[in-house]
A and B are shown apart, each in its own frame.
Chain A
């Protein structure tokens, strides 16, 4: 059982549903290389015209923020309410605002 026991690497799959939309993460799969990952992604995730474009990327190539650091990482924008339009009081009779 030589090659059989070695697992193919994990790829994350992103699909663009139609023109004008972002690619969205849809799941993952295993494949021996990038080209096969694309083919598998087509078979597994787009059997019903779910997409017009697919990205595959090795899962170990993704850098993600840590859930434990969630609060400190996102804290800098927590107290900047003035970045939102609702922060500003405009009289109701001012048009097109």
Chain B
């Protein structure tokens, strides 16, 4: 007696359909069947990404009130507003996996979901606004461009919107730094000092080395991730070195040099213990970032309640 596909275990049939979609490099959509582990991985990754955008508003928001000109202030406001928008695109994508917005907010505020380690570093000078645009958003772009082809449809579509907007973020940062480099010695020193502080944390944004990244292989097999951490880190270094030269700053790595044989730059090892400490909650600003986010959420409660009450009253009035 032969077994036709319809007689097989329904879950096995669904899994075969899922595997075939992934193998075709086709997209998985919200109402498709997917393995629980795939759903959990996506929720974790997209939520972490969304939280990063939202927490990422803080380091730069710090300088809105002190931007040196109206032009710079308008740019910075637009940029920070974009970060909020990116967070919302990603929360919206994450919700298609069956988690609620309130749940995601609670998990962030309770410290049970992470955000990018980079936002736990302080912005000590105005030059940091430029450096974040150039290096941090530059690293984010390296990470995010391949994610436009990620296997989960809503995530990929959110990434396409985000990548279009990130290009403005990186360019405004680089232009800001170029302007400062044409200024006084003190301004040039400010840029160099800022780059010195942000270089290594930017390299850490790609995550631990491949050998220590346990979930990477599975995420690659599912097409959630398209490149390994080390590949992307190398790509970022290769892209950034000529930009640093054009800017006239030194990248603080004595081991950084062109390797003719590999066709890539060699570079030093980031301090992985520092990354582990920041992820574990012991970076310079972890407590401050979460406290600020909690306060903002609590301070906004009356607005949410008032809007709900107004909507209910209007609906009631319409029904009468």
Nearest CB in chain A: distance from B217 CB, A: 28
* Chain A contacts with B in 1-46, Cβ cutoff 8 A: 1-8, 10, 26-30, 32-33, 36, 43-44
Question: Are A36 and B31 in contact, with the CB atoms below 8 A?
Answer: no
A8 touches B31 (CB 8 A): no
Contact of B305 among A4, A29, A43 (CB under 8 A): A4
A-B contact count (CB 8 A): 59
| CB < 8 Å neighbour of B100 from A7, A26, A43, A47 | A7
| Contact, CB under 8 Å: B311 / A6 | no
Of chain A, the residue at the smallest CB distance from B298 is: A4
- Which secondary structure dominates where chain A touches chain B? mixed
**Contact B308 A64, beta carbon cutoff 8 Å:** no
Interface assignment of B186: CB less than 8 Å from any CB of chain A: no
- Chain B residue with Cβ nearest A1: B301
A7 with B85: in contact, given A27-B92, A33-B311, A67-B29 (CB under 8 Å)?
Answer: no
Name the residue in B81, B92, B93, B307 with the highest tally of chain A Cβ atoms < 10 Å from its Cβ.
B92
Confirm or deny: A66 has a beta carbon within 8 angstroms of a beta carbon on chain B. Answer: yes
CB contact between A28 and one of B95, B100, B307, B315 (< 8 Å): that residue: B95
**Complex Cα spacing A33 to B313, Å:** 11
Q: Are B82 and A29 in contact (CB under 8 A)?
A: no
A47 touches B85 (CB 8 A): yes
A44 to B29, alpha carbons, bound, how many Å? 22
Q: Decide yes or no: A4 and B301 within 8 Å by CB, A32-B307, A47-B82 being known contacts.
A: yes
Nearest CB of A to B11, in Å: 13
Tell me, yes or no, whether B76 is within 8 Å of chain A by CB. Answer: no
A26 to B93, CA, bound (A): 11
With A66-B31, A67-B29 already in contact, the answer to whether A4 and B92 are too (CB < 8 A) is no
Q: Closest residue to B310 on the A side, CB-wise?
A: A32
Which residues in B have their C-beta under 8 angstroms from that of A64?
Answer: 31
B285 within 8 A of A: no
- Cβ B102 vs Cβ A29 within 8 A: no
Chain B residues 265 to 320 lying within 8 A of chain A, measured CB to CB, are: 301, 304-305, 307-311, 314-315
B101 — which chain A residues lie within 8 A by C-beta? 7, 30
Which residue of B has the minimal Cβ distance to A9? B311
- Nearest CB to that of B164 among chain A residues? A48
Closest to A25 in B: B157
Output the nearest chain B residue to A66 by Cβ-Cβ distance.
B31
- Given that A2-B305, A27-B158, A33-B314 are contacting pairs, would A44 and B31 also be in contact in the complex, using a CB cutoff of 8 Å? no
Per the 8 Å Cβ criterion, residues 85-100 of B in contact with A are 85, 88-89, 92-93, 95-96, 100
Nearest A residue (CB) for B100: A7
Could you tell me if B311 and A32 are in contact, using CB atoms closer than 8 angstroms?
yes
> Are A27 and B89 also in contact (CB < 8 A) when A3-B309, A32-B311 are?
yes
Instruction: State in angstroms the CA–CA spacing of A48 and B308 once bound together.
Output: 29
Which residue in B88, B304, B308, B311 is a CB contact (below 8 Å) of A29?
B88
A-side contacts of B158, CB under 8 Å: 27
21 contacts between A and B (CB under 8 A): A3-B304, A3-B309, A4-B301, A4-B304, A4-B305, A8-B304, A10-B95, A27-B93, A27-B154, A27-B158, A28-B95, A30-B101, A32-B310, A32-B311, A33-B310, A33-B311, A36-B307, A36-B311, A43-B85, A44-B88, A47-B82
Binding site for A on B (CB under 8 A): 29, 31-33, 78, 81-82, 85, 88-89, 92-93, 95-96, 100-102, 154, 157-158, 161, 165, 301, 304-305, 307-311, 314-315
Rank and list the top 9 A-B pairs by shortest CB-CB distance, nearest first: A3-B305, A33-B311, A32-B311, A32-B307, A28-B92, A27-B92, A3-B308, A4-B301, A67-B31
